[in-house]
Amino acid sequence: MIDLHVHILPGIDDGPEDFAESLQMCQLAQADGIHTLVATPHLHPGLYHSSKKTILAKLAELNQKLPNLFPVAEVPQKIDLKILAGADIHLSFFLRQNFSWEDIIFINDHRKYFLLEFPDYFLVEPVKKFIASFREKGIIPIISHPERNSIFQKDSQILADFVRLGALSQITAMSITGFFGQKAKAAAFSFLHQNLAHLLASDAHSLKSRPPILSKALAEISAHIGPEKAWRMVHDLPLAIIEGETIEIPEPDI
């Protein structure tokens, strides 16, 4: 599986505190059947201040440490895991006066896909213009965890409008399994059946409370929409995204 949304870099946002926890999260991801992670630290002006340079340096350091990682058992085992570049970019990032595309960390360094995180409240019409402007540049925003946003929960038509304009949608594994409450779970399953959920990711932040686990949610989704469609959400579509390919999604059913 491929996890497109993981806060795995230490000490730069609300993810792991140190490299030791980051490496343990990598072990856990691999044990769950994940072979590729996209490191997506927050880019959120006024809250998290790490620069693109700092984020990429942390990513390089983590990748350097992976070959020397040993499990708890006595026999050493190298982690065969890829960690790629990305970021969880808050909508406010694009509202800065000094905004520059050069500051964006696109998924796997292809100037095509990036995660777009929404605030609790936003104006719909300006966002539609943002998405349209992105698509004119050949850039595709992936809306992260819309099922946890109260605006999308109340009106899935807004999400459908964004998808019709060219955005993709990524739901969280732990929303499916109930960690984020009944509203988020209900919205996630509603989006699945409305063709408004294209990708499943962990949005992991830690080893214990929010771990990089996809298998449990994948099993639940498979029971609802079928294993083939569910697998596309954790492998086929994420693979196309990290390779910078164009993907096709079904028309929203709403």
pLDDT the model gives residue 77: 55
Where do the domains of the chain lie, and which CATH numbers do they carry? 2-242 (3.20.20.140)
* 11-22 mean pLDDT: 94
- Looking up tokens 């693109």, which residue turns up? 52
Q: What distance in Å separates the CA atoms of residue 24 and residue 29, rounded to the nearest whole number?
A: 9
Measured distance CA(88)–CA(117) in Å, rounded: 6
Segment 187-192 mean pLDDT: 98
Distance CA 67, CA 57 (A): 17
pLDDT in tens, 106-163: 999 999 999 999 999 999 999 999 999 999 999 999 999 999 999 999 999 999 999 9
End-to-end CA distance of the chain: 29
pLDDT higher than threshold 70 for residue 78: no
pLDDT of residue 50: 83
pTM: 0.94
